[in-house]
Structure 1
Amino acid sequence: MPFWKKRRKEKAESTAKPSSPSSSSLPAPPHPISETDYVQAKKRKAEAEFWIKLYQRALLDVTCSRGKESEIPSDIAPIISSKLLGFIERWKKELDRHQAIIDAYEAKRRYEEAVRKLSQYVQVDLEPPTPQKATVSAPARKPPRARKKPSDQLDHIAHRLEQLYELLEQIEEEVEGAEES
C-alpha cells in the first residue's frame, strides 16, 4: 500500500476514536479578548467617531460651498470630496473593527455570567476539553492558522451563547420539575 493511502487510513482511524466525555455539555468559551483590548477598542472607537464627524462636516462644507464664491476652486472641490469620502470609509471600517472587539468582549462577559449561574446547578468545566492526540508515523504539518474575522467570531459567540442558554433552560425546567414532585 502506498504511504499516502496508509497515512490517510491512519488519520481516518485516529479521528474516528471517541473523545473523552466532559462533565457537562457546555460549549467552548468564546475567543479570549482581554480587558485592555476592550478598553483600547473603546478609546479607538471614540477616536474613529470623532474623525468621521470631522470629515463629514468638512465634506458638507465642501459640497455646500460649490455654488457660492468660496476659497475652494470649483475644479478642486470634487477631488477634495472624493478624498474626504475615502477617509470617512476608512474610519468607518476602523469603527466597525473596534465595535466587533467590544461586542466580543461583552459577549465573553455574558458567557462567564451564564456559566456562573449554571454552575449553581451543575459542575461546569470552564476550560474546553483538550482533544486527544493521534499517533501518526510521520509528523503531520500544521496548516497556517487563518485569522478569524470579527464577524466570524461574533457568529461563533452567538451560536455558543444560544447553546448555553438552551442548556440553562433545560436545567431550570428539570429543577422546577424536581421541586414540584
Structure 2
Amino acid sequence: MSTTQIDRLRELLEPLADARGMDLEDVRVTPAGRRRVLQVVVDRDGGVGLDACAELSREVSAELDGSDVMGGAPYVLEVTSPGAERPLTEPRHYRRAVGRLVRLRLHQGGDVTARITAVDEAGLDLEVPGEKGRKAQARRVEFTDIAGARVELEFSRRPAGDQSQKEA
C-alpha cells in the first residue's frame, strides 16, 4: 500500500470526520482476496456509536465514489471506532481514558498499571492500586516518560465516583 494513497485518503476523509466532531485516528487498506478492505477508524470525546459510524460511512462512500483515490479495484469500506485494546498514543487518547485502568510501559522504570485520574498537556495523574490491602498511591507520569500504553479491560469496573474501594 502506497503511503501516498493513505495520505490522499486522509486528506479526503479528515474534513468529513472533522465536520462530525470526530478525530480520524487511522486509515488502513488491506488485501482481502480479490478485494481490499478500507478501514476508517474514528473517535471523539464520549465515544462513537453505531449510528454515527453508519452516517459517516454513507458520507465517506459518496466521497470515495466521486474520487479516484481507491482506483478501479473493488473494495469494502469499514468505518469503525477504536477497539478496546488500541494503543494510547495521543494526549486526547489519555483524556478519553480518564477513570480507566491502563498499563503503561515506561522508558525507565518498567511497567505501571494504574487508573488515570487526570490528564493535562504534560502528562497523567494516576492512582496506583495498593498491594495486599495497602492504600492506593498517587503518581505523576509525564508523556515523555511513556514508551507505550493500553487500556486494561475490566470486567468489574467500579462506577465513576465510587469511593468504597479507595477507603479499604
TM range (shorter): under 0.3
Higher strand share: 2
Rg (Cα) greater in structure: 1
Higher RCO, 1 vs 2 (CA within 8 Å, ≥6 residues apart) = 1
Higher helix share: 1
TM-score (norm 2): 0.25
